[in-house]
Structure 1
Amino acid sequence: MTRTYQDYFDALGFRESSSRYAIENPFGFIGKYQFGEAALHDLGYYAIDNSDPNLFRNDWVGNWSGKNGIHSKQDYLNNGPVQEIIIEEWHEVLWRRIEHNDLAKYDGQILNGVPITISGMLAASHLLGTGGLRSFLQSGAVTSPGDGFGTTAYDYMTHFEGYETPFSVNRGQFVVIEGGPGRDVLSSYGGNAVLNGKGGIDTALYSDPVADYDIDSRFDGAWTVTHKQSGPISTDILIDIERVQFSDLSLALDLDGHAGITARIAGAVFGQEAVSDQALVGIGLGLLDNGMHYEALMQLAIDAALGAEAASHTAVVDLLYQNVVGVAPAATEQAHYVGLLEAGEYSVASLGVMAAATALNETNIDLVGLSQTGLAYV
Structure 2
Amino acid sequence: MRKKIAKFSILPLAAGSIFFSFSTKDAAKINVDDYSTTHLDLDYTVQDFKEEMQPVYELNRTAPFIGETYVGFKEAIGFKESRSDYRTINEFGYLGKYQFGAGTLKLLGIYDLDAFLDSPALQEAAFYANASRNKWILQRDIKRFVGKTINGVQVTESGILAAAHLAGPGSVKKYLRSWGAQAFSDAFGTTIRNYMKRFGGYDVSFVEAVKNARVDKENLKA
TM-score (norm 1): 0.36
Deviation at 1:142, TM superposition (A): 3.9
Aligned partner of 1:108 in structure 2 is: 147
Q: Of 180, 185, 198, which aligns to 1:141?
A: 180
Name the structure where helix makes up a greater proportion of residues: 1
Whether the 8 Å CA contact 2:87–2:95 is kept in 1: the answer is: yes
Q: Distance in 2 between matches of 1:136 and 1:24?
A: 28
Name the structure where strand makes up a greater proportion of residues: 1
Which residue identity does 1:73 align to in structure 2? L
Matched ranges for 1:219-258 at <5 A: none
Whether the 8 Å CA contact 2:160–2:196 is kept in 1: the answer is: yes
SS in 2 for 1:165: coil
Aligned partner of 2:138 in structure 1 is: 98
Are 2:71 and 1:6 aligned?
yes
Structure 2: tracts of 5 or more residues without a match: 1-65, 208-222
Whether the 8 Å CA contact 2:86–2:120 is kept in 1: the answer is: yes
Whether the 8 Å CA contact 1:2–1:164 is kept in 2: the answer is: no
Deviation at 1:167, TM superposition (A): 6.1
Q: Distance in 2 between matches of 1:2 and 1:19?
A: 17
Are 2:148 and 1:83 aligned?
no
Tell me how many residue pairs correspond in the alignment: 141
Whether the 8 Å CA contact 2:70–2:206 is kept in 1: the answer is: no
Q: Distance in 2 between matches of 1:127 and 1:2?
A: 22
Which residue identity does 1:131 align to in structure 2? G
Aligned partner of 1:73 in structure 2 is: 113
Q: Distance in 2 between matches of 1:33 and 1:89?
A: 12
Give the alignment's Cα RMSD to 1 decimal.
1.8
- CA 1:81/1:167 → structure 2, altered by over 3 Å: closer, same or farther? closer
Q: Of 111, 124, 127, which aligns to 2:163?
A: 124
Q: Distance in 2 between matches of 1:136 and 1:80?
A: 32
Structure 1: tracts of 5 or more residues without a match: 47-71, 169-378
Q: Give structure 1 regions of 4+ aligned residues with deviation exceeding 3 angstroms.
A: none
Aligned partner of 2:90 in structure 1 is: 25
SS in 2 for 1:41: helix
Deviation at 1:93, TM superposition (A): 0.4
- CA 1:166/1:6 → structure 2, altered by over 3 Å: closer, same or farther? same
Which residue identity does 2:124 align to in structure 1? E
Deviation at 1:112, TM superposition (A): 3.1
Which residue identity does 2:157 align to in structure 1? I
SS in 2 for 1:124: helix
Q: Distance in 1 between matches of 2:151 and 2:195?
A: 15
Q: Deviations over 1:109-133 (max 9, x none)?
A: 1123210000000000110011211
TM-score (norm 2): 0.60
Q: Distance in 1 between matches of 2:103 and 2:81?
A: 17
Q: Deviations over 1:182-231 (max 9, x none)?
A: xxxxxxxxxxxxxxxxxxxxxxxxxxxxxxxxxxxxxxxxxxxxxxxxxx
Are 2:218 and 1:153 aligned?
no
Whether the 8 Å CA contact 1:22–1:30 is kept in 2: the answer is: yes
- CA 1:22/1:2 → structure 2, altered by over 3 Å: closer, same or farther? closer
Q: Distance in 1 between matches of 2:167 and 2:192?
A: 7
Structure 1 or 2, whichever has the larger Rg, is: 2
Identity of aligned residues (%): 37
- CA 1:6/1:164 → structure 2, altered by over 3 Å: closer, same or farther? same
Deviation at 1:144, TM superposition (A): 2.5
SS in 2 for 1:166: coil
Whether the 8 Å CA contact 1:29–1:36 is kept in 2: the answer is: yes
Deviation at 1:9, TM superposition (A): 0.5
Whether the 8 Å CA contact 2:77–2:98 is kept in 1: the answer is: yes
Whether the 8 Å CA contact 2:159–2:195 is kept in 1: the answer is: yes
Deviation at 1:2, TM superposition (A): 5.2
Whether the 8 Å CA contact 2:110–2:116 is kept in 1: the answer is: no
SS in 2 for 1:148: coil
Deviation at 1:97, TM superposition (A): 1.0
- CA 1:112/1:152 → structure 2, altered by over 3 Å: closer, same or farther? closer
Whether the 8 Å CA contact 2:151–2:193 is kept in 1: the answer is: no
Q: Distance in 1 between matches of 2:206 and 2:151?
A: 24
Q: Of 39, 59, 74, which aligns to 2:104?
A: 39
Q: Distance in 2 between matches of 1:38 and 1:20?
A: 20
- CA 1:73/1:128 → structure 2, altered by over 3 Å: closer, same or farther? same
